[in-house]
Amino acid sequence: MKYALSSILLSCLFACNSAKQDSFDLEISNVNLIDGTGRPLQTNVSIGIRDAKIVAIDSVFTESAKNMIDGTGKFLIPGLFDGHVHTGNFEKDFPRFIHYGVTSIFITGGSSCTNEYYRAMRKQGNQDSIPAPIVFHTSQHFTMEGRHPVKTYKGSWVDGKTVFLIKDTLQIEGLVKEVSQYPITGIKLTIEDGPHPPWVERMPQKFINKIQKEATKNGTRVFAHVSDNIELGMALDAGIQNFAHWTGIDLDFQKDTLLLGKIYELKPSFITTLMIDKGFLYPLFPQWVEAVRQEKVFDEDDLSKANEPDYIARSEDNIAFWKDYLQKEDITLSDVVTFQVEDIKALYENGINFALGTDTGPFVLPGYSLHEEMQLFELGGMNPLNIIKMGSLNAAKMMKAQDSLGSIENGKIANMILLDMNPLETIRNTLAINTVIKRGKIQKRIEE
């Protein structure tokens, strides 16, 4: 009996000591925490991470950790989530996202996006030794022959591989069933008549209705690509609740009561993409190009387009559009974004979910431009605490991944950014990155 009791005591002592030894894989101590939920900043917080997840949040731990980070004077926010991404070279772009603390992305189709390309991107995102964000994605574009984006953007558009060209409603049932077999977040449906002239025809309403109906039947969702109030109304009439863009929508809260009623009834989610407007203007603002150059992350090939006549002409056309649209001669960036942010704020305060996204492309740069997107919202008057939530938890909600991603809470995957400066003073401080953590592991950033 004595021997048995001794064995039990020794076993307990060993187990207790083992538990105490390196209880955490990583501990971040004494940090200022902005957890992404919208709650106010918390001071002197310690975070314990084990097996890629947050397992403890407290002021002081008695447990030890294999790795320690002293967070004194620093600020911890969730890893950022870009809700609208395209990439034709993910091996080049993925380290850029991680460099800027973008630990999750949502890829919304593109001319490179075959099933094999999607699979390769998911595989890259699911490991942690090579810098790469966690990948969510839609199906390939559902559109029609001669419509956007096939007509408006050059690329390797191949029907059945990188795009699905819908010819009649009878075709839709089989296509939706086919794409629903893959690990997609939803179907990318392009309703719009194009981002700029020459305009193409919009997708007919009966096609939109059928795609939404079949998506619901197959347990998936539709992410609609719209660019004005008419197309938003068409999508809402079909019951669609996810929108890949806000840009192009302009609400009059006194007159657009029917459209607003549909929004409040369906409570859709929107990805913001205000960077589209700034991206179009880049060649006319050399100081923006120089700011990117000083980052020493992007190639001159990425920046030289600012001197190309086609891009300059496109920017001048865009300025002319805004002068006419806003009935104002001297156009500033604030003019372009403030009325959009005001609409978003009004809807956001009434329970409509908005997630940040950039629509990466020329002058909308992987990783860096999500910080620009946040700055546009601050320029338009949005509170930094809400901007951070839009760039983290709100995006995870839209992906239906809020149980594991989007905020710094117990049980969630440990995707975080440690900042040297307070982003609540100015959202620009999200660029003062000290350390990027993905799945509890410190990530290698791009060196100069």
* Average per-residue pLDDT for the chain: 92
Residue 197 is predicted with a pLDDT of 66
pLDDT digits (tens, 9 = 90+) for 365-424: 999 999 999 999 999 999 999 999 999 999 999 999 999 999 999 999 999 999 999 999
In this structure, what are the phi and psi dihedrals at residue 279, rounded to the nearest 5 degrees? -60, -40
pLDDT digits (tens, 9 = 90+) for 31-87: 999 999 999 999 999 999 999 999 999 977 877 889 999 999 999 999 999 999 999
Cβ-proximal residues to 247 (8 Å cutoff; 6+ apart), any chain: 227, 272, 273, 274, 276, 277, 340
Give 110's pLDDT tier (boundaries 50, 70, 90): very high
β-strands 24-33, 42-50 pairing: antiparallel
Determine the Cα–Cα distance for residues 48 and 54; give it in Å rounded to an integer: 6
pLDDT digits (tens, 9 = 90+) for 204-244: 999 999 999 999 999 999 999 999 999 999 999 999 999 99
Give 152's pLDDT tier (boundaries 50, 70, 90): confident
pLDDT digits (tens, 9 = 90+) for 168-209: 999 999 999 999 999 999 999 999 877 666 677 899 999 999
**DSSP, residue by residue, 157-183:** --BTTTEEE--SGGGHHHHHHHHTTS-
pLDDT digits (tens, 9 = 90+) for 119-147: 999 999 999 889 999 999 999 999 998 88
Percent of the chain's residues with pLDDT above 90 = 86
| Class at the top of the CATH hierarchy for domain 79-406 | alpha beta
Residue 285 is predicted with a pLDDT of 95
Biggest CA pair distance of the chain: 94
Single pTM value for the model? 0.93
- In the chain the first and final C-alpha atoms are separated, in Å, by 67
Determine the Cα–Cα distance for residues 278 and 288; give it in Å rounded to an integer: 10
Query: How many C-beta neighbours within 10 Å does residue 408 have?
Result: 26
Determine the Cα–Cα distance for residues 163 and 139; give it in Å rounded to an integer: 9
The larger pLDDT score, comparing residue 5 to residue 298, is at 298
Domain range list for the chain: 79-406
